[in-house]
Amino acid sequence: MNTIEVPEVRDAGAVARMHLRAWYETYDQDGSGVDAAWIAQNLGHLGTAAGIDGWAAEIAVARREPERVFCRIVRTITEVGATTDGATAIDAVTGAGTVRADGDAGGGAPVVGFLYGRRADTVTLGPMYLLAEAQGTGVADLLMGEFLGWAGAAPIRLWVSEFNTRAVRFYTRYGFVATGERELWRDRLRNVRMVRPAGG
């Protein structure tokens, strides 16, 4: 079962590690223009204290200024049985063992996705990632629904890798169109600009 939550600052480590893992899952493939070594060099900082601190700062702003910054995480919760009072006992199982679903030491159930956005003159969506085990579960649509509700009628823009055809199709389904604007991110990753007009 996947849940969508506003993250706590203590979730920063899990978000940063998931962010880096999503890059490897998505782009360490033939045809992407990048490889594992490039990802490590350009995004490996996400797995460091500095990367975790960066996400902690972003989450803190999102919690303090929710009208300006949107941040949601997806957790995988595993139901493990019923309690004596008939309630369902929830446990989160990670590679390191079992942790409480209510979180401790920045833990909680594993983070398997997130969506981040900002509001300024226009609304910017990105980044948005789901790990492989969360794809195809419908949670991406739930995330986008929450984000579009937050954005309201404002125009929305994003960058997406043209290699990530699954993401391009997903955004197209929600009314985003390519503008023709392109960028070569850090001299390797080919991105295209997509926008969703005001009023969607």
CB 19 within 8 A of CB 27: no
Per-domain residue ranges of the chain: 2-196
* Class of domain 2-196 as given by CATH: alpha beta
**H helical segments located in 11-88:** 12-27, 36-43, 49-64
pLDDT score, position 93: 31
Say what percent of the chain tops pLDDT 70. 85
Say whether pLDDT at 178 is over 50: yes
Could you read off the pLDDT of 65-85 as tens digits, one per residue? 999 999 999 998 875 544 444
Q: Tell me the pTM.
A: 0.83
d(CA 59, CA 78): 25
Indicate the residue type of 77: I
pLDDT tens by residue, 82-141: 444 444 333 333 322 223 333 333 456 899 999 999 998 899 999 999 999 999 999 999
